[in-house]
Amino acid sequence: MMGMDTEYILGKLGKIEVLPTFPGIVGEVINVIEDPMSSAADLAKSMDPSMVGEVLRVANTAYFGTRNFRNITSIEHAIAIVGFQHLSHIILHMPFITMIKGDSVFNREEFIRHSITCGVLSKTISTCVRGTNANEVYIGGLMHDIGAIVIYRYFREEWEHINALIMEQNISRLDAEREVFSVDHGVIGALLLQMWNIPKSVTGGIMFHHNPEAAEEYREHAMIISMGNTCAKKIDLRDNFSSFDEFLYKYRDCIQIAEDQWVSLTPSEELRFFEQAFAQLKNVKGFFEEVLEEKDDKSSCC
Ligand SMILES: [Fe+2]
Ligand SMILES: [Fe+2]
């Protein structure tokens, strides 16, 4: 499965400094999402100060808007306002977003939008496909492209080489990554998360989201995240989501394109997918609109 560069890749990944509480908190997020009886206090206990600060910032922004006085100061109150679902977007992206903070080349807003859309759509597809765990697929979908940030931030020479290959040989970013590393950003992101002891049920789907046929374990997870990714590249979270009929009309092809690759849904499953996707994306958009700055046109993501 892996090429000759694996040791070199693992060596570099091993040196990446992480928020000390992050590996533990991913497990906690999984528990909380899977167990509605878990409380905000449990989650708050496992957060480190920078994470608490970010959750407070987001809660205040989402609740009061960017120009208003901020007065939510308790983490439990902040979690109650943000809600577990939105909280998971923030927590699961935090260490990676920190890696590109203040960077002008990597399009942070677009990355977050694409990741959230893929997470939500993957979860929605998962609920239509028997035998897959929607929460694990959701978390995998949210983090599916973190390898792209890792390459950009920690493999700068290879990043430049990849960009040169794309220009010179007119090949896709994915092919260029495979030429340089023997593997793509899915594998690199998953290897990093595995080093941090994130469960294989999550990393397996991430590792093979561009080639699910290569997955030995959790192939269905990889297939679904691949479908979610295909749809997420088409569905723009900046749409206004005012009419379900418009949404369906505009995007009804996307699931067929994704289905041609992996899983086939019946017409009623397809309709259910669109209904759920519409409701969930509308909800996520409403929340993150205040938190994310509008910037740049939709660029090609991975
Ligand atoms: Fe990708
Ligand atoms: Fe992607």
Give the other-Cβ count within 10 Å of 28's Cβ. 18
- Which long-range CB contacts under 8 A does 62-66 form with residues at least 24 apart? 62/86, 62/287, 62/290, 62/291, 65/290, 66/290
Tens place of pLDDT for every residue, the chain, 302 residues?
Answer: 445 478 899 999 999 887 777 877 877 777 777 776 777 677 777 787 878 888 888 888 776 665 555 688 888 888 888 887 788 888 888 888 888 888 888 888 889 899 999 999 999 999 887 678 888 899 999 999 999 999 999 999 999 999 999 999 999 999 999 999 999 999 999 999 999 888 899 999 999 999 999 999 999 999 999 999 999 999 988 888 999 999 999 998 887 777 766 677 888 888 888 999 999 999 888 777 766 653 344 444 56
- The Å distance, Cα 150 to ligand 1 centre, comes to 12
In a domain, 278, yes or no: yes
Ligand 2 centre and the CA of 298: distance in Å? 13
Structural domains in the chain (count): 1
User: How does DSSP assign 181-202, residue by residue?
Assistant: HSS-HHHHHHHHHHHTT--HHH
Torsion over CA: 172, 169, 148, 133 (sign): positive
Contact at 8 Å (CB) between 108 and 149? Answer: no
* Residue 96 counted as domain residue: yes
**The pLDDT value given to residue 248:** 92
Centre of ligand 1 to C-alpha 60, Å, is 32
d(CA 291, CA 109): 10
Q: How far is the CA of 41 from the centre of ligand 2 (A)?
A: 33
Burial class (CB in 10 A: 0-12, 13-18, 19+), 4: exposed
Ligand 1 centroid – CA 148 distance (Å): 8
Ligand 2 midpoint to CA 168 (Å): 23
Between the CA of 185 and the centroid of ligand 1 the distance, in Å, is 7
pLDDT at residue 269, rounded to an integer: 85
Ligand nearest to the CA of 209: 1
- Write out the residue range of the structural domain in which residue 114 sits: 6-291
Tokens for 240, please give them.
């206004």
Residue 301 forms part of a structural domain: no
Q: 281 in a domain, yes or no? A: yes
Q: Which two tokens stand for residue 182?
A: 């023997």
Assess if residue 137 is contained within a domain. yes
The verdict on residue 268 lying in a domain is yes
**In angstroms, rounded to a whole number, what is the distance separating the alpha carbons of residues 282 and 276?**
10
- In degrees to the nearest 10, what's the CA dihedral of 140, 63, 65, 58? -40
Q: How far is the CA of 6 from the centre of ligand 2 (A)?
A: 22
Report the CATH number at residue 156: 1.10.3210.10
pTM over 0.75: yes
Among the bound ligands, name the one nearest to the CA of residue 116.
2
**Tokens 């990944």, residue?**
13
What separation in Å is there between the alpha carbon of 230 and the centre of ligand 2?
8
Distance 265 CA to ligand 2 centre (A): 22
For residue 298, being part of any structural domain is answered with no
Helices marked H in the chain: 6-14, 22-34, 40-45, 49-64, 75-82, 84-99, 108-128, 134-142, 146-154, 156-169, 173-181, 185-195, 200-207, 219-234, 244-261, 267-291
pLDDT confidence of residue 70: 63
Gap from CA of 229 to ligand 2 centroid (Å): 5
CA of 69 to the centre of ligand 1 (A): 38
For residue 113, how far is the Cα from the chain centroid?
Answer: 9
The answer to whether the beta carbons of residues 147 and 192 sit under 8 Å apart is: yes
Give residue 20 CA to ligand 1 midpoint distance, Å.
Answer: 26
CA of 189 to the centre of ligand 2 (A): 12
Q: Which ligand is nearest to the CA of 117?
A: 2
| 299 within some domain | no
**Which amino acid, 146?**
I
Q: Which ligand is nearest to the CA of 122?
A: 2
Q: Tell me the CA distances in angstroms from 68 to 46, 64, 72, 177, 272, one per residue in order.
A: 29, 6, 12, 44, 39
Q: What pLDDT is recorded for position 209?
A: 97
